[in-house]
């Protein structure tokens, strides 16, 4: 769990006086001296690290970004939003998708597609689902991985519209090597794939505020000393990699950015067309796809009007007294899907002006050895306030289909969805538009265990709610309908027999099926 940096936590700095005003205001001379000391020590340590190996040009660039972030971390005080200044976004700054859709598509949509590149955030590992290596390489449907599905989607665009839409993967040092090995299998596909690395930043000892790393290597304990600094890093590392300039020179104007584990994040031609048909002087530089909040997503970031700009408000930025208000589904009705459409020339301009400003997320961690560290991160959507004519589009829920857990995986593997050209669509046989609520217990957390426990994926077309806990297995061709709760207490085991149909049932106790 992470939280936004609300006030500089070092006790010495805070003990003097806690100023809740703007940046820097009221920082005493003493505090300023301390801050300087921390910053200088950090810079010295970074130089020492660089001197441990040769050929560190990329790392030097990374460290420039890190220094900037660390500087802001030491300086920023007080909550980053003043609750009284928050306004509801003006009517036309969050448009319903239906209005965008109603405009229809022009003949020349291929020309618009040729100005687009698709960027997938591919820095994450599959650890939380019990998998080694990049998350994008986990199989999600018919042996297809997240990456396979993405490639199929883009290839489909090429085939249908004869359009050239490149795929760009933002890798991290954790995922780059394994991803590149896999990319070879797409050489004969009709899709151009580019990759770039996001930065590698040093984790900071929570007490000393100095790097944990003893050298630049990633081997052994020292491997734990580094982290990829969140997807807000995309702007800097995309520019630094040279790829942004390359795409601009090929006539690309927008990128569509999304998490690689969001299977609903397909290229939407209507949104693309909306962007491309704006008059040049009113070009919308940033679109955030938002969707209606349900009780399951009360923690998601939302859009507010602040200082005359659209701004992303995350729960961690909310003063404690207003957290319940923030979570309410009636006051803040929508949340960020992290599907973003961003103007490439605008990124370049803001990067060159050095005016991309994103709230710092301080993510505390405990390393294997027990050491408490913090890592400073930023989120890509937080930059929305820096762009001109930013817009929210309230899209259907189907564009937000993240697979974070095996419960999500069960849904996307089931007959609730059908797969076509790499895209999942809700089956027409389902009579309600909502997805069932699925909660699988800890025996299902790892993908391997999950797969072992289902001989085949149950029929879920009429399911509303499923809770499974304990040592439970499912035979072939089980059907689940309505609300089904299956609970095997400690020491018990429940095998749901092949062909069983459970409708509005609670199953508990012991139910063994033995081979004979």
Structure token digits, residue 456: 């085949």
* Alpha helix (H) residue ranges in 103-214: 109-113, 146-161, 176-183
Q: Of these, 43, 190, 283, 351, which contacts ligand NAG (CB under 6 A)?
A: 190
**CA dihedral in degrees (210, 215, 216, 221; nearest 10)?**
-90
Task: Collapse the DSSP code of 324 into the 3-class scheme (helix H, G, I; strand E, B; otherwise coil) and give the result.
Answer: helix
Build a one-symbol-per-residue string for 196-215: x at contacts with ligand NAG by CB under 6 A, - elsewhere: -x------------------
- 230 appears as a binding residue in the annotation: yes
Catalytic pick from 246, 404, 439, 476? 404
The answer to whether 191 contacts ligand NAG (rule: CB under 6 A) is: yes
Which among 263, 283, 246, 306 is positioned nearest to 412, based on CA atoms? 263
Which among 300, 286, 306 is positioned nearest to 336, based on CA atoms? 300
- 242 appears as a binding residue in the annotation: no
Query: Within positions 131 to 160, which residues make up the interface with ligand NAG, using CB under 6 A?
Result: 158
Please identify, using beta-carbon distances, which residue of 189 and 397 lies nearer to ligand NAG.
189
Q: Of these, 62, 148, 176, 314, which contacts ligand NAG (CB under 6 A)?
A: 176
Contact yes or no for 393/100 (Cβ under 8 A): yes
Q: Of these, 62, 164, 297, 495, which contacts ligand NAG (CB under 6 A)?
A: 164
6 secondary structure, DSSP code: -
Please identify, using beta-carbon distances, which residue of 104 and 251 lies nearer to ligand NAG.
251
CB of 224 to ligand NAG, least distance (A): 15
Mind spelling out the 3-state secondary structure of 361-389? EEEEEECCCCCEEEEEECCHHHHHHHCCC
CB of 514 to ligand NAG, least distance (A): 49
The answer to whether 173 contacts ligand NAG (rule: CB under 6 A) is: yes
Question: How many residues would you count in the chain?
Answer: 516
Query: Within positions 303 to 342, which residues make up the interface with ligand NAG, using CB under 6 A?
Result: none
Please identify, using beta-carbon distances, which residue of 176 and 268 lies nearer to ligand NAG.
176
CB of 485 to ligand NAG, least distance (A): 45
Which among 396, 262, 288 is positioned nearest to 341, based on CA atoms? 288
Which among 384, 154, 112 is positioned nearest to 274, based on CA atoms? 112
- The span of 39-47, 66-74, 190-198, 326-334 binding ligand NAG (CB under 6 A) equals 190-198
Which among 442, 97, 503 is positioned nearest to 270, based on CA atoms? 97
CB of 61 to ligand NAG, least distance (A): 10
- The span of 12-20, 71-79, 145-153, 184-192 binding ligand NAG (CB under 6 A) equals 184-192
Please identify, using beta-carbon distances, which residue of 194 and 446 lies nearer to ligand NAG.
194
- The span of 187-195, 230-238, 250-258, 304-312 binding ligand NAG (CB under 6 A) equals 187-195
Please identify, using beta-carbon distances, which residue of 89 and 124 lies nearer to ligand NAG.
124
Gyration radius of the chain over CA positions: 24
Query: Within positions 204 to 263, which residues make up the interface with ligand NAG, using CB under 6 A?
Result: none
Q: Please, what is the Cα angle at 357 between 389 and 327, to 5 degrees?
A: 80
Cβ count within 10 A of residue 156: 18
CB of 108 to ligand NAG, least distance (A): 15
The answer to whether 266 contacts ligand NAG (rule: CB under 6 A) is: no
Please identify, using beta-carbon distances, which residue of 262 and 266 lies nearer to ligand NAG.
266
Q: Hunting for tokens 């999950």 — which residue is that?
A: 450
Q: Which residues contact 62 (CB under 8 A, 6 or more apart)?
A: 199, 200, 201
Which among 267, 338, 292 is positioned nearest to 105, based on CA atoms? 267
- The span of 49-57, 189-197, 328-336, 504-512 binding ligand NAG (CB under 6 A) equals 189-197
Angstrom distances, CA of residue 395 to CA of 79, 112, 263, 289, 290: 30, 20, 14, 6, 6
Residue 404 known to be catalytic: yes
CB of 71 to ligand NAG, least distance (A): 25
Contact yes or no for 475/458 (Cβ under 8 A): no
Please identify, using beta-carbon distances, which residue of 191 and 386 lies nearer to ligand NAG.
191
Contact yes or no for 471/482 (Cβ under 8 A): no
Build a one-symbol-per-residue string for 49-88: x at contacts with ligand NAG by CB under 6 A, - elsewhere: ---------x------------------------------
Which helix (DSSP H) or strand (DSSP E) does residue 278 occupy? none
With contacts defined by CB under 6 A, how many residues of the chain interact with ligand NAG? 11
Work out the widest C-alpha separation in the chain, in whole angstroms. 81
Q: Given the rule CB under 6 A, which residues bind ligand NAG?
A: 58, 158, 162, 164, 173, 176-177, 190-192, 197
The residues assigned a catalytic role are: 404
Q: Which residues are annotated as a binding site?
A: 135, 198, 230-231, 261, 404
């Amino acid at each position: 769990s992470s939280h936004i940096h609300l006030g500089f936590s070092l006790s010495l700095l805070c003990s003097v006086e806690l100023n809740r005003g703007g940046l820097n205001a009221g920082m005493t001379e003493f505090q300023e001296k301390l801050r300087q000391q921390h910053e200088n020590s950090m810079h010295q340590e970074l130089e020492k690290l660089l001197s441990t190996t040769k050929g560190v040009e990329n790392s030097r660039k990374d460290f420039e970004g890190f220094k900037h972030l660390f500087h802001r971390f030491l300086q920023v005080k007080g909550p980053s939003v003043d609750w009284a200044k928050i306004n509801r976004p003006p009517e036309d700054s969050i448009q319903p998708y239906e209005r965008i859709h109603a405009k229809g598509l022009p003949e020349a949509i291929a020309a618009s597609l040729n100005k687009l590149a698709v960027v997938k955030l591919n820095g994450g590992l599959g650890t939380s689902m019990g998998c080694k290596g990049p998350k994008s390489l986990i199989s999600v449907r018919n042996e297809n991985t997240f990456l396979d599905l993405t490639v199929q989607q883009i290839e489909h665009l090429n085939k249908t519209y004869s359009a050239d839409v490149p795929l760009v993967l933002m890798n991290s040092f954790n995922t780059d090597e394994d991803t590149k090995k896999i990319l070879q299998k797409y050489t004969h596909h009709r899709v151009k794939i580019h990759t770039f690395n996001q930065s590698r930043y040093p984790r900071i000892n929570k007490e000393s505020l100095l790097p944990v790393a003893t050298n630049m290597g990633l081997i052994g304990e020292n491997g734990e000393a580094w982290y990829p600094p969140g997807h807000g890093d995309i702007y800097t590392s995309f520019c630094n990699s040279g790829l942004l300039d390359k795409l601009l020179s090929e006539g690309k104007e927008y990128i569509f950015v999304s998490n690689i584990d969001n299977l609903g994040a397909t290229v939407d031609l209507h949104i693309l067309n909306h962007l491309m048909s704006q008059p040049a002087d009113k070009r919308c530089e940033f679109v955030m796809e938002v969707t209606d909040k349900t009780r399951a997503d009360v923690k998601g970031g939302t859009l507010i009007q602040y200082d005359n700009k659209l701004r992303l408000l995350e729960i961690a930025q909310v003063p404690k007294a207003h957290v319940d208000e923030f979570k309410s589904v009636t006051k803040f009705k929508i949340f960020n899907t992290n599907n973003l459409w961003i103007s490439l020339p605008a990124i370049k301009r803001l990067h060159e002006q050095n005016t991309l400003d994103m709230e710092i997320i301080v993510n505390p961690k405990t390393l294997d050895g027990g050491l408490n560290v913090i890592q400073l991160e930023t989120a890509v959507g937080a930059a929305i306030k820096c762009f001109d004519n930013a817009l929210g589009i309230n899209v259907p829920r189907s564009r937000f289909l993240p697979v974070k857990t095996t419960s999500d995986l069960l849904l996307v593997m089931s007959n609730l969805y059908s797969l076509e050209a790499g895209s999942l669509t809700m089956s027409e046989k389902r009579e309600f538009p909502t997805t069932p609520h699925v909660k699988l217990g800890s025996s299902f957390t790892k993908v391997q265990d999950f797969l072992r426990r289902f001989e085949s994926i149950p029929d879920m077309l009429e399911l509303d709610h499923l809770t499974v806990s304990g040592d439970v297995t499912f035979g072939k061709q089980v059907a689940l309908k309505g609300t089904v709760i299956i609970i095997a207490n400690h020491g018990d085991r429940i095998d749901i027999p092949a062909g069983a149909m459970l409708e509005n049932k609670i199953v508990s106790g012991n139910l063994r099926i033995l081979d004979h």
